[in-house]
Amino acid sequence: MKTRAILISLFVSILSLIFLLNCGDKEKPKEEAAPVASAATLSPEIEEGKKLFLENGCNACHGDTGAGDGAAAASLNPKPRNYKAPASDWKNGPTEAGVLKTLNNGIPSNPVMTSYKFLGDEKLKKIAKYVVYLNQN
């Protein structure tokens, strides 16, 4: 009986040691590390605009890169704006002022592109700067 208790204790100790050694933060191999260069090139204001763009679901329609290929885009008519489209294809233009007009008023002929005025001027300016950034890059 005593030998059995010792064996069980030894087994539990070894098992605990295995779990302990295999858990916790591990350093990622260098080939798996995400590239940092692209994030470092964005200004803090554009980076904040990107964050707001993602938080408010803009990428659901416009896609992560603004190509108009978000998850919801396939089921929408009219299709979401591709930010790489020529300026003549934009309702209000690919400028910060034009994007702000769209964000403040929505597109009346498009029930999906509604106003985002509720976010406030500062947040809308940051999103607009990010949209212009996507248009130019």
Q: Which CATH number do you get for residue 77?
A: 1.10.760.10
Structure tokens at 121: 């001027």
Q: What pLDDT is stored for residue 116 in this prediction?
A: 94
Cis peptide before 111 (omega within 30 of 0): no
Within a domain: 34: no
The pLDDT of residue 52 is above 90: yes
User: Quick one: what percent of the chain has pLDDT higher than 70?
Assistant: 73
Give the pLDDT band of residue 12 (cuts 50, 70, 90).
low
The Cα-based distances of 50 to 43, 45, 54, 76, 79 in angstroms read 11, 9, 6, 23, 21
Within a domain: 22: no
Within a domain: 70: yes
128 and 49 Cβ atoms separated by less than 8 Å: yes
From 65, 55, 48, select the one nearest 128 (Cα to Cα).
Answer: 48
Within a domain: 11: no
Query: What pTM was estimated for this model as a whole?
Result: 0.68
CA of residue 103 relative to chain centroid, distance: 18
Within a domain: 1: no
84 and 66 Cβ atoms separated by less than 8 Å: yes
Domain that holds residue 108: 44-136
Within a domain: 100: yes
Domains of the chain: total: 1
Within a domain: 37: no
Q: pLDDT for 65-96, tens place per residue?
A: 999 999 999 999 888 999 999 999 999 999 99
Q: Who has greater pLDDT, 51 or 39? A: 51
Within a domain: 19: no
Q: What pLDDT is stored for residue 9 in this prediction?
A: 64
Average pLDDT over residues 59-69: 93
